[in-house]
Chains A and B, each alone.
Chain A
Amino acid sequence: MVSEAKAKLKVEDVELRFGGVTALDDVSVDVKEGEILAIIGPNGAGKTCIINSITGYYRPQRGKIYYDGRQLIGQSTHKIIKLGISRTYQNIELFTGLTALENLMASRHPFFKSSVVSGAIYFGRAHREEIENRHIVEDIIDFLEIEAWRKKVVGALPYGLRKRVELGRALALEPNLLLLDEPMAGMNLEEKEDMARFILDVFEGQARKYPDTPILRDGVKTIMLIEHDMGVVMDIADRIMVLDFGHKIAEGTPKEIKANPEVVRAYLGEEA
């Protein structure tokens, strides 16, 4: 199936320590182009640490992380983001004082070319760029069905919507690799279904509906997803990696993972 495709992201023998605590111990995983890889594991297993290491928030002591053949460890976050990686955060990290629309526009930042001076005069290029980017952002807003809240300050939005705005903000960066850190945490069933639909729609691409917006037309072909809800993970992930106390204990298709005794032990505890 996807095993032939080349790896978009290669994590090799990554070790991350905080003082005496080893958060990640020799973790290796590939994310291939055209797949959704899910990372599961109990709380504190090191799932978010992987995403933070990829995006440069943490510096692993050992190991390598390659994205399209380029080493990421040691680069600063804003440079890594410009390579085409974007992420959401476990505990929503929106720009609370901005509206939903402005949050998405803020995230278009790397696509603006106009200078400070032309921005101040707001003439010609600066004005044109605002409108061009607005078109793309409005398509994303339309896709995520948050039109009604586009001019509401996000600090005042309910939790489920904020999560959606955060997904939109990640999409506005037009990533080739999307890292989703618990996009469905704390949601009710309907919200989870909505979110799962958005993730799958993004993954598949929506060429028919949004022919002019590349990110929605072509979709994001490589997604890494951290999630606790097993039902969702088993349904939408192509492959699953299981972490426990910083160790990788299993990797495989949902079917294989379900049958893996190690995984069952990590989740349900050892038999007495």
Chain B
Amino acid sequence: MSLPCGTYNRSYARDMAIIRTRAQWGMAIAGIALLCCFPRFIPLAWLNVLNFTMITMIAVFGLSILTGYTGQINIGQSAFMGVGAYTSAVLATNFGLPFWVALPCAGIMAGVTGLIFGAPSLKVKGLYLALATLAAQFILHWVFMHWPYLGGHEGVSAPYPSIAGISLKTTGSYFYLLLGLTLLMGIFAKNIVRTRLGRAFIAIRDNDKAAEGMGINVYNYKLLAFFIGCFYAGIAGSLLAHYTGFANYDFYTLDDSVWMLGMLIVGGLGGIMGAVYGTLFIKLIEQAFLINAPRMGLSTVQGATLGTVLLGIVIVIFIIFEPRGLQHRWELFKASYRLWPFSY
């Protein structure tokens, strides 16, 4: 990728850095500051949408590592979110543990569940493994519904988290929690994929035979990818449960899993920023239809259906015209505006 005009890397550390110039630092800080002001001037309905978007984004980060980087298709990401949600709700409600303990536990529980369903990856690859994760989706969903301990149709209630005595009950306060965690999880994901682990994952995706020949224990690293990917799902699930106030299987259906794959494809497989663009793009279009349905003279259900149909078309268009996703488009745009008006 080309650097901004007149910028040169004089050390390897600088060459590897994500944020290279003062201007970039400035933009990053300004961007975060702007995001922090959102609760002040964004309508509540849209703030709520942003909250759901950020939760989904965390799960899509995980999916990006597992499917985008390691090449193990996972059609059960939302079920793993469910594992996190139920774990966190049960720990908080039945055992009275604080949110800050339940959150990582939810991630670990989902990660371990991911290990179990990722175990066949030693023998099966590609579509066959995808079927194993599809089985995970159905089995886990069935368990959420039918295991009496998990409350059946009502699910398990999850209390609002609180920091230092301040309960995060409002949409605005939860926004800050989610913003912080999404940034953190995003940075972690980016760091994972640009260091040894990410290279091992990509090596496995691109050529598992040669990866083995470079001293990478392919099976262990596939399992590790499953753990990390599902850990992210678990964290997202826990956040969703504590946001909505309960863990309920209705939020963790096959539909959601497939949508997450769709977001990854629209954003661009094999890029952490791709997960950000893809999730934002799909969630915002979806919600735009939902929220504006009355204005267009449609019922909410009609709006949602129309949105889904249009999104389906959008995904097909992306696969045909820009299989590398929004991320790639953005990179191309950046490369050109950095050099503009010169050709190189």
Contacts and interface: CB of A to CB of B under 8 A. Distances in A.
Interface of A: 55, 57, 76-78, 81-82, 86-87, 89, 93-98, 102, 105-110, 112, 114, 116, 119-122, 126-127, 129-131, 134-135, 138, 151, 169, 173
A87 B99 CA distance: 51
Nearest to B12: A134
Contacts of A95: 202-203, 206-207, 210-211
A171 B213 CA distance: 13
B196 interface: yes
Listed from nearest, the 5 A-B pairs whose CB atoms lie closest are A93-B210, A106-B199, A110-B215, A81-B215, A122-B191
Given A94-B207, A109-B196, 7 more contacts: A81-B212, A95-B202, A95-B211, A106-B216, A119-B192, A126-B191, A130-B16
Which secondary structure dominates where chain B touches chain A?
Answer: helix
A173 B214 contact: yes
B41 to A, nearest CB: 34
B217 interface: yes
Contacts of B197: 116, 119
A190 B96 CA distance: 73
Contact of A122 (B195, B206, B213, B217): B195
Nearest to B69: A97
Nearest to A179: B213
B110 to A, nearest CB: 16
Interface of B: 1, 12-13, 16, 188-189, 191-192, 194-197, 199-200, 202-203, 205-207, 209-218, 224, 228, 270
5 contacts: A93-B210, A96-B207, A109-B214, A121-B188, A131-B16
A102 B199 contact: yes
Contacts of A114: 195-196
A127 B214 contact: no
B215 A173 contact: yes
A98 B196 contact: no
Contact of B212 (A77, A108, A138): A77
Given A93-B209, A97-B202, A135-B12, A116 B192 contact: yes
Nearest to A110: B215
Contact of B191 (A55, A105, A120): A120
Contact of A78 (B191, B192, B215): B215
A107 B217 CA distance: 12
B195 A131 contact: no
Contact of A119 (B191, B214, B217): B191
Contacts of A134: 12, 16
Given A93-B210, A98-B203, A119 B215 contact: no
A77 B16 CA distance: 31
A5 B300 CA distance: 83
Given A109-B199, A109-B200, A119-B195, A93 B213 contact: yes
A175 to B, nearest CB: 10
A185 B291 CA distance: 62
A109 B215 contact: yes
A138 B13 CA distance: 13
A127 B188 contact: no
A127 B156 CA distance: 42
A240 to B, nearest CB: 25
Q: A78, A89, A94, A134 — which one has the most chain B CB atoms within 10 A of its CB?
A: A78
Given A119-B195, A120-B192, A109 B202 contact: no
Contacts of B216: 78, 106, 109
Contacts of B191: 119-122, 126
A96 B203 CA distance: 9
B272 to A, nearest CB: 12
A134 B224 CA distance: 25
A92 to B, nearest CB: 9
A57 B12 contact: no
A110 B216 CA distance: 7
B195 A98 contact: no
A102 B194 CA distance: 9
A97 B12 contact: no
A87 B213 contact: yes
Q: B13, B188, B214 — which one has the most chain A CB atoms within 10 A of its CB?
A: B214
Contacts of B12: 130-131, 134-135, 138
Contacts of B215: 78, 81-82, 107, 109-110, 173
A66 B197 CA distance: 31
Contact of B195 (A76, A82, A94, A126): A126
B13 A127 contact: yes
Q: B207, B215, B228 — which one has the most chain A CB atoms within 10 A of its CB?
A: B215
A94 B199 CA distance: 12
B199 A97 contact: no
B206 A169 contact: no
A158 B191 CA distance: 31
Contacts of A55: 213
Given A121-B188, A173-B214, A57 B209 contact: yes
A173 B210 CA distance: 13
A202 to B, nearest CB: 18
A77 B217 CA distance: 8
Contacts of A77: 212-213
Nearest to A112: B196
Contacts of B203: 95, 98, 106, 109
B230 to A, nearest CB: 14
Contacts of B16: 130-131, 134
Contacts of A57: 209, 213
A121 B270 CA distance: 20
